[in-house]
Amino acid sequence: MEFATYKSDVWGREVIRGVSWDLLWLVVVAAFLIIAGHAIYEAAQKRGDKPSSDGARVTRHEMIDRVSHWLMAASMIALLITGIFPIIGIEFAWLELHWIAGILLTVIVVLHILRSILAKKLADMWISGGDLKEPFEESQKPGKYSLAQKSMHASVTVLTALVIVSGILMFMVIDSPWWGRSNLLTEASLGWVFLIHGLSTLALVGVICMHIYFALRPEKLFYTRSMIKGWISKEELDANHDTERWTPDETS
Amino acid sequence: MASFDVMPDVQLYQPTELDDALNLAEKFGDSGWLVGGGQDTYGWLKDRAKNPQAMIELNGIEALHGIRETDDGIEIGAITNLREIIRDERITRDYSLLSDAAGRVASPQIRNVGTLGGNLSQDTRCWYYRRGLDCYRAGGNTCYADGPESMNREHAVLGASRCVAVSPSDTATALVALEAIMIATSVDGVREIPAEDFFVGPDTHITQMTALDANEVLTAVRIPSKWAGKRFYFEKVADRDVWDFALVSVAVAMSMDGDTISDSRFVCGGVACVPHRLTQVENAARGKSLSDESADAVAALASQGTKPLNYNHFKLPLMENLVRRAMRG
């Protein structure tokens, strides 16, 4: 199995064409095995009762953040469908849909960054030394976000930045409503851009599989509910978070 | 580009039964190459720009030859050569649009061996692609014909999506105008594909010109009687009068109600990756008579929506003028 594919450029020199899409099946199989392994491991664990969702509630995600998350998810799914389906043989006119979804994702990411800088605490998402103790000390509870959640966010941040930057470069050399096709990039450079776009896409497929799996796990389902309705119960807060590190507002 | 005087090392199969050909097409899939008259094939092989593992020559299959009457029109075997089509009495009488188009294909020598199926299924003539460059159509990540310095005089002015190649087939435009049905056969069965859907653009199938799957054989073309004996117009503009591909062509079928056009199909060749229906012209022509005034009124619609490249703006007035000439009466 090759990591990249190669071609001859117009001068006959070998240059990178892009990622080898055979890796897609490797990623899918690896994600499936990890998910299956984790599910079996969790099934074998004895867990106490889940904290109740009744009673007092606290705000976990404001409406604007929830809308931003689901718009980002929708555009990401649209990008994966329009980008990957034609590769696996489901052919349709995908290109315009792909770059439209790409523009939507870029705009949402820019707004998310601005909001994170101007209206939120960036430190909430940084991985600190305290976070690293979580897996080893049961008494160490997370603040608003666990180490796993912060790691997931960091991965998605890096990979999304890579697909957006490479996607913009690819978009700039094709016809669009605003500009014509150009030879902005040499064939060798274009190959690297395609490779980075493809590799980060493959990594995102794996990361998104994990994200969806953990979002649907029974013991994590209250986080998914909070991304829809905005709140978690006080009992869920006390059971899963260190209220000295995260003190959310009560809500109705 | 390297060129060779001998055939490459390739297996040659010459089935005499359709079932054998279908099994071979199934077996080899993308690495097989169907050959009719070979007029598109041998250039590819000579230049080593395509390297199939096996060639499946269809000429020996009797069922793929000949022109037959059906309950609703005629059926032409895909291996029927273009000369037979030009000389067939039923076609010249009822579907002269097709015989006119077939009569403008290449040269008499090529028409003697070139088949209808081959003319419809032939690959594009984009010279960057045929030179063997790794362009989008060849599975690459760029188009050499659509750049600021590219030579794209003969390329698309419509329907381009990354690739700007055009369909080179003269008979394709006529068959789209005649609402023909393509019969695609494989070991899985028979698919009837309307001519308009048979040709596919780069937005969906950037490495293919037709909707044929790798294991399918175009076995026949059915032309319904809907347009039999109607008024037809075919004109092809090329740099040379013979042995050349269309810069722009137009195939028109018109149903007349007295002096006025009650229904029509205008199809342009050489302007897009597929034969391009001029639906705005068709709508505007309905109810009009054939005259210079009508021609002037609808001609400008022919080039609407076009997006010419650096060197093919000349195709726009050509499209308009060909429609004008079809409408002059």
Q: Which of A7, A173, A175 sits opposite B140 (nearest CB)?
A: A7
Helices within chain A (DSSP H only) = 23-44, 63-84, 95-118, 129-133, 147-172, 187-216, 221-229, 234-240
Asked if B204 and A190 come within 8 Å (Cβ–Cβ), the reply is no
With residue B99 as reference, give the H or E element that holds it: helix B96-103
- Give residue A44's pLDDT band: very low, low, confident or very high (50, 70, 90): very high
Q: Is B231 on the interface with A (CB under 8 A)?
A: no
pLDDT level of residue B1 (50, 70, 90 thresholds): low
Q: Which residue has the tokens 């889940």?
A: A50
Tell me how far CA of residue A134 lies from CA of A44, A137, A148, A221, B82, in angstroms.
21, 5, 9, 20, 78
Q: By three-state DSSP, how is residue B118 classified?
A: helix
Shortest Cα distance, chain A CAs vs residue B93, angstroms: 40
Q: What does each C-alpha distance from A202 to A29, A69, A190, A195 come to in angstroms? A: 12, 21, 18, 10
| pLDDT tens-place string over residues A186-217 | 999 999 999 999 999 999 999 999 999 999 99
- Residue B10 has a CB neighbour count (10 Å cut-off) of 12
Residue A123 reports pLDDT greater than 80: no
Grade residue A134 by pLDDT with cuts at 50, 70 and 90: confident
Sheet holding B181-186, edge to edge: B67-70, B73-77, B217-223, B181-186, B189-194
Beta bridge partners of B251: B234, B267
Q: Report CB contact under 8 Å: B161, A95.
A: yes
Mean pLDDT of B90-95: 98
The pLDDT value given to residue A138: 76
Question: What is the bridge-based pairing of β-strands B67-70 and B73-77?
Answer: antiparallel
Q: Higher pLDDT residue, B68 or A140? A: B68
Q: Which chain B residues have a beta carbon less than 8 Å from that of A100?
A: none
Test A17 with B141 for CB contact under 8 angstroms: yes
pLDDT at B75 over 90: yes
Report whether pLDDT(B329) > 90.
Answer: no
Q: Which residues of B touch A10 (CB under 8 A)?
A: 133, 144
Rounded Cα distance, A139 and B82, in Å: 84
Residues of A in contact with B205 (CB under 8 A): 91
Asked if A176 has any chain B CB less than 8 Å from its own CB, the reply is no
Closest residue by Cα to residue B271 from B295, B234, B237: B237
Using the Cβ of B305 and the Cβ atoms of chain A, whether some distance falls under 8 Å is answered with no
Asked if A18's CB is within 8 angstroms of B149's CB, the reply is no
pLDDT bucket at A126, cuts 50 / 70 / 90 = confident
- Position B318 confidence tier, pLDDT thresholds 50, 70, 90: very high
DSSP class of residue B62 equals G
Q: Stretch A240-245: mean pLDDT, rounded?
A: 90
Whether residue A175 lies within 8 A of chain B, CB to CB, comes out as yes
Query: pLDDT tens across B208-228, in order?
Result: 999 999 999 999 999 999 999
> Which token pair is A57?
């509630």
B158 touches chain A (CB under 8 A): no
Q: Does A93 touch chain B (CB under 8 A)?
A: yes
B43 touches chain A (CB under 8 A): no
Cβ distance of A194 and B141 shorter than 8 Å = yes
**Is the predicted pLDDT of residue A49 greater than 90, yes or no?**
no
Report whether B290 contacts B261 (CB < 8 A). Answer: yes
Residue ranges of B 161-180 with Cβ closer than 8 A to chain A: 161-162
CB-based contact A166:A195 (threshold 8 Å): no
- How far is the alpha carbon of A156 from chain B, nearest alpha carbon, in Å? 26
Q: Where are the domains of chain A?
A: 4-43+60-121+137-243
Q: Is the pLDDT of residue B205 over 80?
A: yes
Record: contact A190-B133, CB cut-off 8 A:
no
Burial grade of A137 (CB within 10 A; 0-12, 13-18, 19 or more) = exposed
User: Which chain B positions have a beta carbon within 8 Å of A173's beta carbon?
Assistant: 142
Residue A183: list chain B partners with CB under 8 A.
147-149
What residues contact B101, with CB distance under 8 A and at least 6 apart? B170, B171, B173, B174, B234, B236, B249, B251
- Going along chain B from its start, the domains and CATH numbers come out as 230-326 (3.30.390.50)
Distance from CA of A206 to the nearest CA of B (A): 25
For residue A136, is pLDDT > 90? no
Mutate to test the interface with A, among B134, B141, B144 (most CBs of A within 10 A): B141
Q: β-strands B276-277, B32-35: how paired? A: unpaired
Which of chain B's residues have a Cβ under 8 Å away from the Cβ of A18? 141
Collect all residues of chain B within an 8 Å Cβ-Cβ radius of residue A174: 162
- Looking at residue A241, its pLDDT comes to 92
Say yes or no to pLDDT of B201 above 80: yes
Which of B30, B48, B134, B158 is best to mutate for the A interface (most A CBs within 10 A)?
B134
Its sign, for the CA torsion B19, B21, B22, B24, is: positive
Contact list in A for residue B203 (CB cut-off 8 A) is 93-95
Answer whether A175 sits within 8 Å of B160, measured CB to CB.
yes
Q: How large is the average pLDDT for residues B51-78? A: 97
- Put simply, the answer to whether A190 touches B143 (Cβ < 8 Å) is no
Please report the DSSP string for A24-49 in residue order. HHHHHHHHHHHHHHHHHHHHHS---P
Q: How far is CA A72 from CA A107, A112, A228, A242, in A?
A: 9, 10, 14, 29
Superfamily for A4-43+60-121+137-243?
Transmembrane di-heme cytochromes, Chain C (1.20.950.20)
Question: Reading across the β-sheet that carries B54-57, which strands appear in turn?
Answer: B11-13, B54-57, B32-35
From chain A, pick out residues whose CB is under 8 angstroms from the CB of B139.
17
**CA angle (A184, A159, A214) in 5-degree steps:** 155
- CA-CA distance, B108 to B176, in Å (whole number)? 24
Q: Is B310 on the interface with A (CB under 8 A)?
A: no
- Please check whether residue B22 is in contact with residue B186, taking contact to mean a CB–CB distance below 8 angstroms: yes
C-beta of residue A84 within 8 angstroms of C-beta of residue A24: yes
- The pLDDT, as a whole number, for residue B80 is 98
* Residue contacts between A and B (CB atoms, under 8 Å): 42
Task: Kindly list the distances between the CA atom of residue A145 and the CA atoms of A60, A84, A223, B210, in Å, as whole numbers in the listed order.
Answer: 10, 31, 10, 53
Q: Rounded mean pLDDT of B135-164?
A: 94
Note whether A10 contacts B: Cβ–Cβ < 8 A: yes
CA distance B13 to chain A (A): 28
* Residue-averaged pLDDT of chain A: 93
